[in-house]
Structure 1
């Protein structure tokens, strides 16, 4: 049986930022969100590099004739290629020095779904009406949470909640990991930049998901963030796993689409 994503995606500037530093891609067997950072449009450049690099490997990781181990290896190691491209771009354009991006990507590889994640953009699975965060925030706040030095309530409105411990920045000393999950028909996934999760709690997100049809979830989430001030760019991909023919379509959003 072949699986594919049936996705609804949307991005928004928010109410404070002048440009959109988020990028995203949606296709039949891959979805990803990248949240850029860095001055002088650097964030837009970095996130676009990440998403465009994923687009380049789509024909290979979609090739069912290739061994799954080869496709997994390519998917995992694209992070090093993105890091190298960011470094090279920064050297060519010193005004972009210090730019970087998060990356949260899901790829369907045969019977499993593979999560590749760096930074604090998030991946959730919605199964049996329960929202579960699958990604791990690479932030100082998460480390303090793990150590028991902060509570979740203290983290939610902490001024340093977005300080990253891992990101793609050109010389990142990466140790990327792929986490595999068995596909269950009807599984739904939410990928988002922290423009959503820094404003809405997991409980609030769950309630909006429950109250809306799939094709309206992204817009409803963004509308709620906007109503609360939307201090950052917001990018959301809402996807259901369905039986499919691996149709070849690609849609890019945000900086990667410019």
Structure 2
């Protein structure tokens, strides 16, 4: 493996929620964030299913004997397995009916990173001191923005700002896509749940990134969100792509680690 992620991750309950419905995973060649939804702990269950299903796939997509195209297909189609498991769990536990989760995952395959994204958890690339959103928010607000019916300023306090148009809910019917980005040495990536981006602007996030060492970025971002009220769970992964071999341990945080 030529490239790998060197990652720092942290999750926080926030100041309003009673439970953490976020889950996340980091390892040498894959990082992912899932933000669950649904009452009776359904969100925690759904996000954990997404992350634990990804973890089970790791031995295959890390196997360099398997060709890149096959590993891409497996990574892309993991959403169907997540959907299937959420549906089965909902049938076994009717109180969890209606649960779902976002999933934003980034995998290193050969000389590219491949982005798999459903929902409104975000993926940013930080390159040449510039923060660029790579993911597309699957929300009603984003659709209204695209249609010119709302301005970015009107979205800030809109009561439906978090209403999703896509999520993994057991019968989502989503045809996922992978978006590929060529790796440049030193590329850095931020994956996060909307508990961060609903509170801090990209400008504020960039300033905190500029002012901190890699290991301090996630705690600094969470601290600033908490200063501003932290109405939701916050989960952050900060990763640098490196050609230096580091820790390959699989680490899970949030609901998936409980």
TM-score by length of 1: 0.99
Q: Structure 1 pair 73/246, CA: closer, same or farther in 2 (3 Å)? A: farther
Partner of 1:56: 56
Bigger mean CA offset, 116-125 vs 237-246 = 237-246
Cα distance in 2 for partners of 1:206, 1:138 equals 23
Contact 1:24–1:31, Cα closer than 8 Å, also in 2: yes
Q: 1:158: how far off?
A: 1.2
Partner of 1:12: 12
Structure 2, unaligned runs of 5 or more: none
Partner of 2:121: 121
Cα deviation 1:76-108 (Å, max 9, x = unaligned): 000000000000000000000000000000000
User: Does 1:151 find its partner at 2:151?
Assistant: yes
Q: What pairs up with 1:141-220 in 2 under 5 angstroms?
A: 141-220=141-220
* Secondary structure, aligned partner of 2:54: helix
* Secondary structure, aligned partner of 1:142: helix
Contact 1:37–1:99, Cα closer than 8 Å, also in 2: yes
Q: 1:247: how far off?
A: 5.2
Cα distance in 2 for partners of 1:24, 1:55 equals 10
Contact 1:29–1:246, Cα closer than 8 Å, also in 2: no
Cα distance in 1 for partners of 2:72, 2:174 equals 17
* Secondary structure, aligned partner of 1:120: coil
Q: Structure 1 pair 163/157, CA: closer, same or farther in 2 (3 Å)? A: same
Bigger mean CA offset, 61-70 vs 240-249 = 240-249
Structure 1, unaligned runs of 5 or more: none
* Secondary structure, aligned partner of 1:114: strand
Q: 1:246: how far off?
A: 7.3
Aligned length: 258
Cα distance in 1 for partners of 2:245, 2:74 equals 22
Q: Structure 1 pair 136/150, CA: closer, same or farther in 2 (3 Å)? A: same
Cα distance in 1 for partners of 2:241, 2:69 equals 22
Cα deviation 1:25-63 (Å, max 9, x = unaligned): 000000000000000000000000000000000000001
Cα deviation 1:7-30 (Å, max 9, x = unaligned): 010000000001100000000000
Cα distance in 2 for partners of 1:254, 1:88 equals 22
Cα distance in 1 for partners of 2:34, 2:156 equals 21
Cα deviation 1:150-206 (Å, max 9, x = unaligned): 111111221111000000000001110000000000000000000000000111100
Cα distance in 2 for partners of 1:78, 1:61 equals 11
Cα deviation 1:94-130 (Å, max 9, x = unaligned): 0000000000000000100000000000000000000
C-alpha root-mean-square deviation of aligned residues, in Å? Answer: 0.9
TM superposition outliers: structure 1 runs of 4+ over 4 Å: none
* Secondary structure, aligned partner of 1:82: helix
Contact 1:3–1:246, Cα closer than 8 Å, also in 2: no
Cα deviation 1:202-236 (Å, max 9, x = unaligned): 11100110111111000000000000000000000
Partner of 2:81: 81
